[in-house]
């Protein structure tokens, strides 16, 4: 008896060629719907599943393979009484199941209405895949076109059959996780985006040599159908990305994109240098070359070995301006061919990325704990959502307002406790990751030196005492932005008034642990 292959795929990559090769080897082809049409149009002998079951497709195609003639043929153990029982019902075995599922995630990703999304929840497909995977000793199960060639071998080893079965279950589990996430996120009964059960649909997107340190294995994973600016970036020059490169480039691009959006009306270019996930030099300017030079000069020591993001295309002149600084990664929305060629020749170790548009990015921020995860919504509150209030006698000048808004954007992306000093659209001093707010301020002031005179200061959380105000005033800072809300706010405001500083409360903090 000829071996039988049931083929029913949404992703039709290579399926006609695969079916033709099976047919040439004597396999009988069974199929459904659009796949049946594609194979028949290619001139292949193919039997409709409805002819096997004796029932037509029903309910607009919702029911077509859910029948004992299909699942009995898949699930029958080859070395048992199952074959006789199967024959007694007039059914035959199915020896290969080639199925991939309705494009549920892709339908969600393009913003389809809910009824269309629900119709793209596959029922028969997962049932066939799971049946074939359970009986993998006798049935080949294929969910990925990359495995078609393996199925054309004369013999497929038990180890390969088991690997294909594991891949099949992974395929259906990821599919179910995507459906669960969608339904949890759209239920009218859920008051927030944080359901009682949270499924993380993760697929490895990139392999790296190791994690944060050489003794730690590491890899980069995609969440569902999301596209990320760094995960999906085009590498136009340089070496492969490392684990830490991904993390730092993502942090740099996030701040760069936020500044570009905030300053869209001014048309200025943002340049962000990051070291160990913290900004170390940030600047705005009218062009990429100038923005880079200002960001570099903000902290020439820390930028060494750093990761840089810019919000506008990098041309040859901007590329050549980076000649004297060792960098790990440069990411931009575009890199001209001349600039890419120059980087490849002159800075072959520099990874040069063209950022991909972000798409379907989760609103959740997930962080590991021992035995679990801490999950929250991302801190995505923009400046325009705040109601900044001047709480001192002196109102900030127009330039101070500009710099306060700029410093507030930067301090949001620095690890707490964090303080940022800025002047004329450039960070002149940063203190991040300190265990005391005054220590963060002292570090920022020390880094700034004389550049602190005429600068503004932003803190991502409130001041418990007036010590930061007095330190800032002694360094020449003229205006301060902070959330407010501390018990000693009156004392802090009074100190500002005594010292002639302006102070603005945002009413919103930005802890980043």
Residues designated as active site: 134, 276
Distance, CA of 91 to CA of 100 (rounded, Å): 24
Angle at 19 between CA 15 and CA 23, to 5 degrees: 175
CB-based burial label for 227 (10 Å; 0-12, 13-18, 19+) = middle
Strands of 49-178 (E only): list them. 96-99, 140-142
Q: Which residues pair with 140 in a beta bridge?
A: 96
Instruction: Find all residues with CB under 8 Å of 420, minimum gap 6, and list them.
Output: 407, 410, 411, 414, 427, 429, 430, 431, 444, 457, 458, 459
Asked if residues 143 and 167 have their Cβ atoms less than 8 Å apart, the reply is yes
Angle between helices 15-24 and 33-41 (to 10 degrees): 70
- Residue 73's SS3 state is helix
* Tokens representing residue 129 in the block: 């895949």
Q: CA quadruple 388, 393, 399, 400: dihedral positive or negative?
A: negative
**Pure H helices in 25-66:** 33-41, 49-53
* Tokens representing residue 328 in the block: 């790990």
Starting at the edge strand found earlier in the chain, the sheet holding 46-48 runs 46-48, 28-31, 4-8, 96-99, 140-142
Distance, CA of 312 to CA of 332 (rounded, Å): 6
CB atoms within 10 A of CB 345: 9
Q: CA quadruple 49, 50, 53, 59: dihedral positive or negative?
A: positive
Q: Which of 44, 43, 48 is nearest to 23 (CA)?
A: 44
Distance, CA of 107 to CA of 182 (rounded, Å): 11
């Amino acid at each position: 008896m000829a071996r039988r292959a049931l083929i029913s795929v949404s992703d039709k990559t290579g399926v006609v060629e695969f079916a033709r090769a099976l047919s040439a080897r004597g396999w009988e082809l069974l199929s459904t719907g659009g796949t049946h049409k594609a194979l028949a149009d290619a001139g292949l002998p193919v039997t409709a599943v409805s002819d096997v079951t004796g029932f037509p497709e029903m309910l607009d195609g919702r029911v077509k393979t859910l029948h004992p003639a299909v699942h009995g043929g898949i699930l029958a153990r080859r070395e048992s009484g199952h074959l006789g029982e199967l024959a007694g019902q007039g059914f035959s075995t199915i020896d290969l199941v080639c199925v991939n599922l309705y494009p549920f995630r892709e339908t969600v990703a393009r913003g389809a209405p809910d009824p269309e999304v629900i119709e793209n929840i596959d029922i028969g497909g997962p049932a066939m895949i799971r049946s074939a995977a359970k009986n993998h000793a006798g049935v080949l199960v294929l969910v990925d076109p990359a495995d078609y060639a393996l199925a054309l071998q004369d013999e497929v080893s038990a180890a390969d059959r088991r690997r294909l079965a594991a891949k099949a279950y992974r395929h259906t589990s990821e599919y179910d996780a995507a459906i669960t996430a969608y339904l949890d996120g759209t239920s009218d009964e859920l008051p927030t985006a944080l359901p009682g059960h949270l499924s993380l649909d993760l697929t490895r997107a990139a392999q790296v040599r190791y994690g944060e340190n050489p003794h730690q294995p590491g890899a980069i994973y995609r969440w569902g159908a999301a596209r990320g600016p760094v995960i999906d970036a085009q590498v136009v020059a340089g070496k492969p990305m490392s684990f830490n490169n991904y993390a730092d480039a993502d942090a740099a691009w996030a701040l760069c994109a936020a500044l570009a959006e905030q300053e869209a009306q001014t048309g200025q270019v943002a340049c962000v240098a990051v070291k160990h996930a913290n900004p170390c030099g940030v600047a705005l300017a009218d062009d990429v070359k100038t923005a880079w030079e200002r960001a570099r000069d903000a902290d020439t020591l820390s930028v060494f070995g750093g990761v840089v993001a810019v919000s506008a295309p990098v041309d040859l002149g901007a590329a050549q301006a980076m000649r004297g600084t060792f960098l790990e990664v440069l990411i931009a929305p575009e890199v001209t061919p001349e600039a890419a060629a120059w980087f490849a020749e002159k800075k072959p170790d520099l990874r040069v990325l063209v950022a991909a548009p972000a798409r379907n990015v989760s609103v959740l921020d997930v962080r590991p704990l021992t035995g679990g995860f801490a999950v929250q919504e991302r801190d995505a509150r923009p400046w325009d959502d705040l109601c900044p209030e001047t709480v001192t006698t002196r109102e900030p000048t127009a330039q101070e307002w500009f710099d306060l808004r700029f410093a507030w954007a930067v301090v949001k992306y620095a690890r707490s406790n964090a303080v940022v000093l800025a002047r004329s659209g450039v960070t002149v001093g940063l203190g991040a990751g300190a265990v005391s707010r005054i220590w963060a301020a002292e570090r920022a002031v020390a880094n700034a030196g004389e550049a602190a005179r005429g600068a503004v200061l932003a803190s991502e959380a409130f001041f418990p005492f007036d010590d930061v105000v007095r330190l800032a005033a002694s360094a020449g800072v003229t205006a301060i932005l902070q959330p407010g809300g501390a018990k000693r706010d009156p004392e802090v405001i009074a100190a500002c008034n005594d010292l002639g500083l302006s102070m603005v409360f945002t009413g919103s903090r930005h802890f980043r642990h």
